[in-house]
Structure 1
């Protein structure tokens, strides 16, 4: 296995300029997805992440066919799909997951049709689906950095409103908070966060970057502020370790990043100090030991746990006292 020192030397090697660019983009994408993923996990919106990840595919396909910017093409398609989902979801006769299912399958099918029209699309299709660390242009590095900062700034400005909608939509609507606008804004931010992550981790695996670090952080804390701090840390470290392992053993970088994040989630599932499986079983066992077992008589009848209060003897009347 490649030592950490050798990995650092490769990062500084001018002949491997694509490697530090890929690492920076992977870490930045993981941080942004980790923060936004907290809202996605708390609101149970994992399906919208999957939908947007597939919906950006026709934009990527169009950008590839016309030799345009892949990030811009994917962003346009993802944002358009997010807007359509937000608008159509206002009709409560059809639930949100059904609307999402309709649009993301249609968008993915459209992407396949578009990219099939281009000669030699097979290799490019694999790059879209599974990511690539060798073909990231310099301008994408600045695009991801600027976009990530803008997304985090928007989340900071509307944090209280997002939390209010997450906790109780009807109460937020009753207090005058524009729930539809916030839903639309969150969908668009999810779409953009996914787009800036696709080139490194791929279209299929990008959902894990959005959900897994936030889910692991959810197991480690009950406080939203701490969760939003832990999730990007877990995502960034997963990107760093995943990149290191993939470079050491010549493995797909996107797959390794997801696997490292999944390992962190499993560790949190078992060993989280309060919500982990071991902690829950320990509390259950402790409560059982503290619960007194009911005493039994020889005949098998239960002895009452509460003390029995015998009736007081009747007081003697005044006439009896005089006699």
Structure 2
């Protein structure tokens, strides 16, 4: 018991771990809430596209010694708006448009990086995350931005769900589909850029998608899915940091591994949609069929 208490409390004695825990928890909760609408919309690909489209903005900011996160946010929002506008053309599917801009943005980022002679710690931390290096201003910035994002999502939750489930019906009902698309894309972009410092460009998609996908396996209700996804995101982020601290592992990767562990457990034991639940009725049906066959044979 003493060992467990020590494991839980020791990291909190270190100021840099306190800041890391706070940032990771906030990002985990916000990504969980936003990720619900990404999963419902079936737009996981947009998360990957935006994460990679931020890359050229970061590379450009690095080349001109600007703020990397602001550069990434500008590039990500620009790409998200272009995707939303071009995907209104019904001749093209949304994932096709996303693929075009995703490939272009990442290719542009590679071209920009190739103009530099060397990589630096700042650029590599953007790719792989450096949550242990956040300072107090980062904590306040993430908390403030996260609160605004969650407030906007909750205020528009009914409209966003309507557009996510059936765009044509939502359009026929008079909802501003393009405006809602732009709003959701920008929210996703800001969420991703906000999360880059914790897990980096390479792993940020897992933080956005995995908690919501886990919650999706466990419930059909939107409010319950939102609460569960935010809980999984927050607890998984904290758990990943504990694992990282205890075993001297990469923080971003550890967070993603813990979140994926939650998903694996839900996939196995979810009450209605888990593997065990789906196999149980089949086993019962097979037993009933065998009993019926035995009865017919004896007759």
Normalising by structure 1, we get a TM-score of 0.85
- Counterpart of 1:24 in structure 2 is 22
Of 37, 43, 46, which residue of structure 2 is paired with 1:45? Answer: 43
- Counterpart of 2:9 in structure 1 is 8
Offset at residue 72 of structure 1 (A): 2.0
- Counterpart of 1:158 in structure 2 is 156
CA distance in 1, matches of 2:206, 2:9: 26
- Counterpart of 1:173 in structure 2 is 171
How many residues of Structure 1 are paired with residues of Structure 2 in the alignment? 295
- Counterpart of 1:64 in structure 2 is 62
Offset at residue 290 of structure 1 (A): 4.7
| Between 288-297 and 157-166, the greater mean CA deviation after superposition | 288-297
Question: What is the RMSD of the two structures over their aligned residues, measured on CA atoms?
Answer: 2.1
2:68 counterpart of 1:36: no
- Counterpart of 1:314 in structure 2 is none
Offset at residue 19 of structure 1 (A): 2.0
- Counterpart of 1:258 in structure 2 is 256
CA distance in 1, matches of 2:248, 2:117: 28
Question: Superposition pairs for residues 1-323 of structure 1, below 5 Å?
Answer: 4-6=5-7, 8-13=9-14, 17-290=15-288, 293=292, 296=296
Normalising by structure 2, we get a TM-score of 0.91
Q: Unpaired segments of 5 or more residues in structure 1?
A: 304-323
8 Å Cα contact 2:29/2:229 also seen in 1: yes
CA distance in 2, matches of 1:290, 1:79: 57
CA distance in 1, matches of 2:10, 2:247: 16
Flag the 1:89–1:254 CA change in 2: closer, same or farther, 3 A: same
CA distance in 1, matches of 2:210, 2:53: 20
8 Å Cα contact 2:11/2:245 also seen in 1: no
CA distance in 2, matches of 1:208, 1:53: 11
- Give 1 or 2: higher helix fraction: 2
8 Å Cα contact 1:18/1:133 also seen in 2: no
